[in-house]
Amino acid sequence: MNGLGQDTAFSMIVLLWLARVVVWTLLCTMLAFLGIVVLDALTPRIHQRNRVGEDPVSVGLFVTGFLILIGLVIHGVVTGPILIGAGVLHTIIDPGRMGLVVISFFISLLLGITLLAIMDKLTPRIPFNSVESSSIATGIYVFGYLVFFGLIIHAALVMPL
């Protein structure tokens, strides 16, 4: 089968939809992990991956943030536009959509870190690096970071372009 048309069986459409959800969820999960690695590199005084594991509450916050991120990704994949008639591979992974997701991800990462640094400078009485002194504070910080990325990825997945 080269493309999807009117005579495509419903079961085939459901299987393609399921494959699309699984593939995109795995790709976006890898992107989120990359984001955490980049966050560690860009904020060397806050050791997120080390601190989160020190307290069960921090771990719970991390897992909750991750589940929200995955929920946003799955919602974005399910409700986002699909290329019909473009072939099976393009139906599952639209290269244009993937480009939007990756570009949005890196732009939001750079903007987020830059704006966080600016806010840190503009609010000297709020020491942002003090997050490092508490594993729970670090867990909340990473939780927010994961939700931030989930929202960015979701927006890129449903963007009508």
> What is the domain range of residue 129?
10-158
- 69 versus 132: which is more confidently predicted? 69
69 part of a folded domain: yes
Structure tokens at 139: 């867990």
Burial class (CB in 10 A: 0-12, 13-18, 19+), 111: exposed
pLDDT one-digit tens code per residue, 61-88: 999 999 999 999 999 999 887 766 667 7
Neighbours of 63 (CB within 10 A): 14
Helix 10-42 and helix 135-158, axial crossing angle in degrees, nearest 10? 140
3 part of a folded domain: no
Q: Whole-angstrom Cα distance, residue 102 to residue 73?
A: 13
Burial class (CB in 10 A: 0-12, 13-18, 19+), 48: buried
35 part of a folded domain: yes
Residue 60: predicted pLDDT: 95
In this structure, are residues 61 and 140 in contact, taking their beta carbons and an 8 Å threshold?
Answer: yes
Residue 80: predicted pLDDT: 82
86 part of a folded domain: yes
Q: How many domains does the chain have?
A: 1
**Residue-averaged pLDDT of the chain:** 85
pLDDT one-digit tens code per residue, 40-61: 777 776 667 777 888 999 999 9
5 part of a folded domain: no
1 part of a folded domain: no
Give, in order, the Cα–Cα distances in Å from 34 to each of 67, 81, 102: 16, 25, 11
81 part of a folded domain: yes
137 pLDDT higher than 50? yes
Q: Whole-angstrom Cα distance, residue 100 to residue 91?
A: 16
119 part of a folded domain: yes
